[in-house]
Chain A
């Protein structure tokens, strides 16, 4: 199927290129995109463990900046999962044509929802740190406003084709902007296709489209209307990161446990990925631009974001764990009684050990990958009679029956859905008070709901699944407690049915802000304030057998009132030397994603839920000389009272637990330096350096509950996280680049990048006194449990070059560009990973860390035609 699809795309592409009105030679190579998806799509930090839904990705935002520091950092540092000033994505604010696109549930901006629309998103208005932003009060990270108005974009067309070897291999893109016609109409269209049958990492694939249509009508001198819609339907097979043991045994740092072979009807074996992402989130907006007078203009938008995000995964019932890298299937499990790697190595079952070791070393797909054929055959054979089906089911004769005898699947592919329904209105404008002062103001009303449920995607050769919880079945002798849906006892699930959980999350937020600015010859200053009101609640659609009174219907609404203050002061020592200082204090409602103990089963709130508090300041020195542009910044930010909630299997308690930490305080401080220097008229030297110190500055308090019952396992457990580093990114990074701009319209450049101080996020439970209580003071095991893992420093060299031709006949351009990332093919640089939350204090090596590596040498070759 995919092969056919690619063939037809290829044929179409050739046709596409042949229709171009150019006499350039068509190149049979394709180009990939260097601007998005440099970051591997695995989830790498402990923070993302159960946020399977998306990984954070704001690299696209950073790369399109014109700031001397940020545009280098964004491009060159993203391979090492750099985060601007250490902030995670919820501290940025992004608007597309006026729509706020931060996710109301977790605050993130996820670039892939508009991936492939690079032609439109390429040049946003962006500022970093605390700034006088036009559309919102903002936060401490970046603020970015992408316009898609035909009248504000360059007119003409752009066709490009790219070939690469990253997450996708091919990209075709087309954009055309009519500009504004005499009658006041403007049209901007953009579309693209990105695909690969297999990406850089084995078993991954990519298939994505994108579209954007923006229609502008200038009604008269005062009023302009804009109607816009865009989206990027994306289907993707994902990469999982693995234990070092698996990398070492297979000799492959991009080993991916998520795929396996499935035999087809013609006897061939086809790679199949179990973890697929299938997203499509269309954004629609109706905008009104009102120029009331020369001194006052207001933009208002009505918007809707209605879509689907789906992530698939395997599940199983009364069957063996099918994941090839499950700890019991690794050779180390056979050493020293279940995986202790310290001391004398005693292998208990030598034969089995040898067999498994050999399988791993030879990368035998039956050992190292999923075995779909076995899963299907287990399902084919599992004849089972399910009785007492309360609401009945349709049997093969089409009759409604209460007892079904058929093949009950042991293994399935299920889909986690999070379907947003987001409607909102916002309005913001600017009033020019006088020559020196102005006022920005705005209000925003947002009404958000997400539909969360689990869907049966594939029964893998079986006929049905029963909606009961396997763990509860074993833990409780009352069988109704194992029912996931008490109103559908023994519910029979077939493909397309909802099961397991089903609830809505509502977040309503209203916000007003205003910023007063005062500028004089040598001074630019602003002071701003905002006020917001956030209400969230859960609405359960399924009555869970473990929590019959807490799972169905609307929960209590949680309301938070928050405010913020900011100011900025810039002093021009001369026009070429600028000094500025910005500060912010704000509170933010906790994100709903962290507010519930286990939203899939119940509406129990995390105890002591409080607003987050942000205190931040930065001091900047800007130089704008003819031969040197530079910025030096020092920043200091505290983000306090954060909440952290996860669910995982706890070895000591021998059960799935919900682990919640409150009172998590973090500090981000450091220095940034960026410069661009024209050494000669053709040679430019660039540099970007950051020295950061990002750490925890409090001892959070943890509450642990059993996932299956009301039982509180631990209350107010102190987590000794103070002075642990925040993991998942380099705290120090440096980039130095040299670029040659030839007079004959070609350029070439090289960048050297160095990354240091990358830590793994600490597993909080390993930093408690309980975790080490089994050991007397001074035993080395204690440090093994407590110490934070620091990854080795790494480097990457990037090369880029390009040339453009002007075609005078019709005043168009042809451009060719090539990027080579990680030129030296450094494949031993670990850029991230996580400590497993499951751990065994008596044998810490049993559930070792997982790591991900930076991609080796990759290229991106693009040819584009502009007319």
Chain B
């Protein structure tokens, strides 16, 4: 009897345990108030020119026209209704997708501008936005570059027809250093917009398509500059014949390679630098005045031994007939000559010291600057590249400094054209 009693006790202890799992109720829903409904265009008209907090209880309705999935947008999306479109800067990444039909209660949100593009700041998707429906896709507005109005069409989803990239052989952005790329897109009449692509976009490293065709994206502005952001790489359909083909034109549009360093980056467009030397960073290629590439091994009244490369991306010259290289250069203070090399088997990533067969072009450049005690860039003259026509060609500048000696070299406006 006693044993039975004890066994029952044990049974109770074990059973009690199983009832001890914790459970929780779902927390209440935070309702987002509606207030007065206002159109996006009316909202933008209320912008006074300086950042202001919206203190009235307003809601805007609209559909989302881009999303962050491919990395080209980060903490920002664009929203559009029948009256217009506006940029939303998000408090946190994620949560809004192309086709979402949403309502935002904008009370307490700051409306501001960035380069004259009007935006709503710090929108909290989880607390200020109500999703009404999904997959309500907006049809892009088809227009020419010239038709796009800086004020009326800003932030709008746009489709441009019969356009092409001006700079060939480059990538959309610098995926290595994750910096934004700006690539000129033009129509056959010479109107242009800059296609801006984030270095974080998963297509940043793709080479620009070389054809002519249509492209869909968000039309943005920076002050009076027309800009354009791709939302989905599959909407870039530039595979038809280019404007000038057959015309034999040799203008800027026909460049195979162009690098002016005006974006302040040595490495945008697939350019690379390599350095080895005795003192960290001394003698590395660097940006001067935000627009010129410079190398010098002189620091704290001393010269330091170094070897420093500036290497172009691989470009396709197979369609060229008589390409040539031209650039600006200047040197001061005595030291080894800046050298120029070309290779057709460079792998595009390695240190040129150890990879690739490099042909020394230094002595074929018509006009290297000599030290005449001034800083004026001089044109190099045309260096013929006809015998280097191949499907993958890279050029490289090699700067050398020694412990006792070293010049300053600057180069700019590097162009391969014909």
Contact = CB atoms under 8 A, between A and B. Distances in A.
Mutual binders A and B: yes
Interface of A: 1-2, 4-5, 8-9, 12, 16, 19, 157, 172, 174, 176, 178, 189, 191-193, 195, 205, 207-209, 211, 233, 235, 237, 262-266, 270, 272, 317-320, 372-374, 376-378, 380-385, 405, 410, 461, 473-477, 774, 776
**4 closest A-B pairs (Cβ-Cβ)?**
A318-B94, A209-B17, A378-B126, A383-B131
B1 to A, nearest CB: 13
B95 A319 contact: yes
B interface, over-half SS: loop
A477 B70 contact: yes
B94 A377 contact: no
Given A205-B22, A475-B202, A320 B17 contact: no
Chain B: number of interface residues, binned into ranges: 35 or more
Nearest to A273: B22
B20 A5 contact: yes
B27 A373 contact: yes
B17 A193 contact: yes
A378 B95 contact: yes
A405 B134 contact: yes
A189 B7 contact: yes
B21 A1 contact: yes
Interface string B248-282: 00000000000000000000000000000001100
B25 A264 contact: yes
Given A8-B16, A209-B14, A384-B134, A189 B6 contact: yes
A12 B9 CA distance: 9
B13 A193 contact: yes
A774 B132 CA distance: 52
B33 interface: no
B93 A473 contact: no
Contacts of B93: 318-320
B333 interface: no
Contact of A208 (B17, B134, B135): B17
A383 B133 contact: yes
A372 B100 CA distance: 25
A178 B200 CA distance: 72
A410 B233 CA distance: 26
B94 A195 contact: no
A474 B72 CA distance: 10
Contact of A262 (B7, B24, B94, B133): B24
B97 interface: yes
Given A376-B26, A378-B95, A381-B125, 8 more contacts: A1-B22, A265-B25, A270-B24, A374-B126, A377-B30, A378-B126, A380-B29, A410-B95
A174 B6 contact: yes
B10 A191 contact: yes
B399 interface: no
A189 B10 contact: yes
Interface in B79-101: 92-95, 97, 99-100
Given A172-B13, A174-B13, A319-B95, A774 B280 contact: yes
Contact of B134 (A2, A319, A385, A774): A385
Contacts of A384: 97, 134
Nearest to B279: A776
A262 B22 CA distance: 13
A385 B137 CA distance: 12
Nearest to A272: B24
A211 B93 CA distance: 49
B71 interface: yes
A12 B12 contact: yes
Given A176-B6, A189-B10, A776-B280, A381 B130 contact: yes
Nearest to B132: A383
Contact of B10 (A211, A410, A461): A211
6 contacts: A263-B25, A319-B95, A320-B94, A381-B125, A382-B95, A383-B100
Given A317-B94, A319-B94, A384-B97, A5 B19 contact: yes
Contacts of A9: 16
B23 interface: yes
A333 to B, nearest CB: 15
A2 B20 contact: yes
A477 B70 CA distance: 7
Chain A CB within 10 A, most for which of B12, B70, B92, B135: B12
B18 interface: yes
Contact of A235 (B5, B20, B135, B203): B20
Given A320-B93, A383-B134, A263 B16 contact: no
Nearest to B102: A383
Contact of A382 (B24, B28, B131): B131
B6 A157 contact: yes
B391 interface: no
B27 A262 contact: yes
Given A235-B21, A377-B126, A383-B133, A209 B16 contact: yes
Contact of A477 (B16, B129, B203, B279): B203
Given A8-B16, A207-B17, A16 B126 contact: no
Nearest to B101: A383
Nearest to A374: B126
A405 B135 CA distance: 9
Contact of A381 (B3, B27, B68, B126): B126
Contacts of A265: 25-26, 28
A118 to B, nearest CB: 14
A191 B19 CA distance: 16
A2 B22 contact: yes
B127 interface: yes
B17 A12 contact: no
Contacts of B95: 318-319, 378, 382, 410
A41 B156 CA distance: 55
B69 interface: yes
A471 to B, nearest CB: 11
A207 B9 contact: no
Contacts of B135: 385, 405
A272 B19 CA distance: 17
A650 B43 CA distance: 44
Given A209-B17, A376-B27, A410-B94, A381 B10 contact: no
A654 to B, nearest CB: 8
